[in-house]
Structure 1
Amino acid sequence: MVLIFPSLANAAVVFETDFEDVADWSVTRPVATGTGFPATWSQNVTPPNPGPPKKNDGSWLWNSSWYRAAPRQVISLDTPLATVGENQGVNNTRGMTYNIEVSHDYSTGWSGGSPFTMYLGDDGYHELYVSYRIKYDPAFDWLPDAPVSASQQKLVFIARVNELLTSSTSVDDHSSPTSPTQPAWLPHWMSYISSQPYYQSFRNRSYRSDGQIVAYDQTQDMYSLRPEFYPQGGPYAWPEDGSWHHYEYHIKMNSVSGALDGIQEVWLDGVKMFTKNNMDFVMAGGSTTKGWNYIELFDNAYIISHSYTENVVYPLYIDDVVVSTNYSGLDYIVGGADIDAPAAPSGLSVM
């Protein structure tokens, strides 16, 4: 099966939702093994049940989307991976909830999966901004009292699928040298007892002409090593005040293969907190013809504040998700009259 998307290259807003027109939705965690693409893909030959979120009219929230779910890690508390419904969004409107299990020890597991992943078509976009509003539960606790290791959370995964997406594409494979999702940006939030807390962006992968991943050192972008990447100084705390906050991520492909001008930026509540403008996402000999076409909201989280035997699950609330070719900013209103937002691609062909 091959999907053909019409071009959206000139669009300002590629996708947006405030979940007000999205139907109630819930995904349970699988019992034994994880599930994801293509089993949960909206365009799979065998229709997924349950599939990714749908609108009230029965259409997909995004017509090429899926979710990934790992088995339950806590002992006995069985919560859904994610839900959409009332009182989960800003001002108690409709929104999405992503439930994060707390396991404490990496060897016993982590809260795995993504509530929503999108494929934007083969051509992709040379430059993208991805933003959302999120609220951590007021009880959310990242770290135990004793100094041990660190907690981390994957915030967004933006990548380029290097082959036309079909049901046989290994698109959920993010780490191996043969992964089709290269280059990619996977910013994490991490909190260490010894230097708590700070934000670091890492796992910047470049795809080069021989097909191998160039995996940068996972700690090279820490504030202590590269303070020039942090316009406001650092380290700075991730909001844990039980209030809504706006996060925006900017990624731009390097102009030509090998050029050191690719961009990564992060804003928190409209203030630029991280900027890096020397990324060679595509190495010399590669191609920059295709742009970014894969977006995964959140991913695995590894939280060490409680043991998995304590059955602790923290909800993370999500609202106002926007994917655009321009900066949206803190004051952007989803569905406002001042935007140019095309519908999800029409004329979708299955071959």
Structure 2
Amino acid sequence: MKINFIILLTICWAELLHASVLFSDDFEAHPDWVSGRTNPENPTGRPLSNPPPAGWTALRTDPARAPSMGDIDRHESIEIKADPNKARSGIRSVQFYRDGKSEPSWKWWSDGILAKRLEQDHKQLTVSFYIKWQPDSTHPRGMSKLFRITHTKGIGDQIFRNFHDGFNGPTAGWMYSHDEYGLRNFNMMRGYPPATNYYFEEAMPIDLPRNMFNGDMSLNWHQNLTDLNRDGVTDNPNTQLYSWVSHNLIPGNNFEGIISPQDLFGNSQHSGWRRIDLFVKMNSAPGVADGVYERYIDGQKVFANSQIPWIAASSDKIVGWNLIKVGGNDYIKTVPESERFEDWYAIDDVVIRTEHPKEPHPPAQLRVTKLYK
């Protein structure tokens, strides 16, 4: 006997899907916005900060040249403007402008940071976003802090105060670093409590692909990418990350892990958006080296470690992740003053969620129309 059941069933999983999403911004709903305005007491000096865009918590702006400082042919350090060439979805994105000056050669010459503080601490977070660099940038050697996930106990401008006497830590971040060895696969990590463990003075992460110096690691794109724990065994082959220039899989020139900024970000002939995912998980107890930091580019894992004592043994508590910072300090190595160097990178489609980036997301709807038995 055949029993035919017709079941009309609709299960809406929208709440389940969005329960893991803590924040998102595609910047389409924002009006035109810039980070700074002229300081009437010092019209050519550091501009005053405008209120942050809706949904964001705070910002820091300190350009070398900008309209707010009298340079009307340049840009503020952070802008939200309608420009389809700088937007991945729709017509808007947030754009960060880097300035270079010749003197003094040691100074971080521009600074633009947009910060979002979450309502509570979280044991783990994934932050995803897309980045596009100015296609015809000359990419002079230098450094830029592009993104950080951190814990802060600060409020207001305190969330931009770092180091041992600051309010932030632990921190996981990604930096642009271009030196004589090309564009580096650069990570930054800081510990907690900041006063005693900012540079992991109490205990270092275990089995890193290269030694850390003051919480920074300048990695190549071959051995340091494919051998994540430096044991001589390839445990992370690159199968997804391609060069914009050669269209070949990175690791780069002569398999020595040397790539150019154009390989990762493109040039005037070939360029586009890269998807970035960062995942962090706090260690289970103070001093226990089981914290996690992973970073992905276009779905390819480019760094991972699961033996990080984010919270040192001296801490009397475990804190959680509660702040992201997009953008940061820019150091452009000496360029001629006459060049008045400026370039930009755009960030779009920022999402903060609680699950791992490789975990499958439930569908927004599940619909069963017929079931036969």
Shorter-chain TM range is 0.7 to 0.9
Give 1:171 shift. Answer: 2.2
Corresponding position: 1:296 with 2:281: no
Counting helix residues as a fraction of each chain, which structure ranks higher? 2
What SS does the aligned partner of 1:259 have?
coil
The 5 Å alignment of 1:133-152 reads: 133-143=130-140, 150-152=141-143
Q: Would the aligned equivalents of 1:29 and 1:71 in 2 still touch at CA under 8 Å?
A: no
Q: Would the aligned equivalents of 2:168 and 2:194 in 1 still touch at CA under 8 Å?
A: no
Moved more, 312-321 or 107-116: 107-116
Q: Distance in 2 between matches of 1:104 and 1:338?
A: 53
Identity across matched positions, percent: 20
Q: Would the aligned equivalents of 2:290 and 2:307 in 1 still touch at CA under 8 Å?
A: yes
Q: Would the aligned equivalents of 2:111 and 2:328 in 1 still touch at CA under 8 Å?
A: yes
What SS does the aligned partner of 1:153 have?
strand
Question: Aligned letter for 2:125?
Answer: L
State the partner residue of 1:61: 55
Q: Would the aligned equivalents of 1:249 and 1:265 in 2 still touch at CA under 8 Å?
A: yes
CA separation of 1:240/1:209 partners in 2, compared to 1, >3 Å: closer, same or farther? closer
Counting strand residues as a fraction of each chain, which structure ranks higher? 2
Q: Would the aligned equivalents of 2:28 and 2:91 in 1 still touch at CA under 8 Å?
A: yes
Q: Would the aligned equivalents of 1:189 and 1:201 in 2 still touch at CA under 8 Å?
A: no
Deviations 1:252-274 (A, max 9, x none): 11111111111111111111111
State the partner residue of 2:82: 86
**Which one of the candidate residues 144, 148, 155 is aligned to 2:146?**
155
Question: Aligned letter for 2:32?
Answer: D
CA separation of 1:15/1:91 partners in 2, compared to 1, >3 Å: closer, same or farther? closer
Corresponding position: 1:199 with 2:185: yes
Q: Distance in 1 between matches of 2:336 and 2:194?
A: 44
What SS does the aligned partner of 2:165 have?
coil
Give 1:34 shift. Answer: 6.6
Give 1:117 shift. Answer: 0.3
**Which one of the candidate residues 274, 281, 284 is aligned to 2:310?**
281
Deviations 1:135-192 (A, max 9, x none): 101111223xxxxxx421212122111x3x445x7321112x1211011123212122
**Which one of the candidate residues 320, 338, 341 is aligned to 2:364?**
338
CA separation of 1:222/1:101 partners in 2, compared to 1, >3 Å: closer, same or farther? same
Normalised by the length of structure 1, the TM-score is 0.73
Normalised by the length of structure 2, the TM-score is 0.69
Q: Would the aligned equivalents of 1:141 and 1:305 in 2 still touch at CA under 8 Å?
A: no
What SS does the aligned partner of 1:155 have?
strand
CA separation of 1:220/1:133 partners in 2, compared to 1, >3 Å: closer, same or farther? closer
Corresponding position: 1:248 with 2:277: yes
Please, which runs of 5 or more residues in structure 1 have no aligned partner? 1-9, 41-49, 54-59, 144-149, 340-351
Give 1:289 shift. Answer: 3.2
Q: Distance in 2 between matches of 1:91 and 1:209?
A: 38
**Which one of the candidate residues 335, 341, 359 is aligned to 1:312?**
341
CA separation of 1:182/1:83 partners in 2, compared to 1, >3 Å: closer, same or farther? same
Q: Distance in 2 between matches of 1:103 and 1:277?
A: 40
Q: Distance in 1 between matches of 2:276 and 2:334?
A: 24
State the partner residue of 1:344: none
Following TM superposition, where does structure 1 have runs of at least 4 consecutive aligned residues deviating by more than 4 angstroms? 73-77, 209-212, 218-221, 224-227
Question: Aligned letter for 2:91?
Answer: T
What SS does the aligned partner of 2:55 have?
coil
Give 1:225 shift. Answer: 8.6
Q: Would the aligned equivalents of 1:208 and 1:284 in 2 still touch at CA under 8 Å?
A: no
| Backbone CA RMSD of aligned residues | 3.3
Q: Distance in 1 between matches of 2:355 and 2:75?
A: 36
Give 1:69 shift. Answer: 0.7
Q: Would the aligned equivalents of 1:73 and 1:111 in 2 still touch at CA under 8 Å?
A: no
Q: Which has the larger radius of gyration?
A: 2
What SS does the aligned partner of 2:219 have?
coil
Q: Would the aligned equivalents of 1:32 and 1:71 in 2 still touch at CA under 8 Å?
A: no
State the partner residue of 2:21: 13
Corresponding position: 1:188 with 2:175: yes
Corresponding residue pairs, total: 293
**Which one of the candidate residues 310, 321, 338 is aligned to 2:350?**
321
Deviations 1:201-220 (A, max 9, x none): 13x21114964423551454
Corresponding position: 1:96 with 2:109: no
Q: Distance in 2 between matches of 1:254 and 1:289?
A: 8
Q: Distance in 2 between matches of 1:209 and 1:66?
A: 21
Corresponding position: 1:126 with 2:111: no
Deviations 1:213-266 (A, max 9, x none): 235514545248955338336455432343111111111111111111111111
CA separation of 1:191/1:229 partners in 2, compared to 1, >3 Å: closer, same or farther? farther
Q: Distance in 2 between matches of 1:305 and 1:328?
A: 38
The 5 Å alignment of 1:263-282 reads: 263-282=292-311
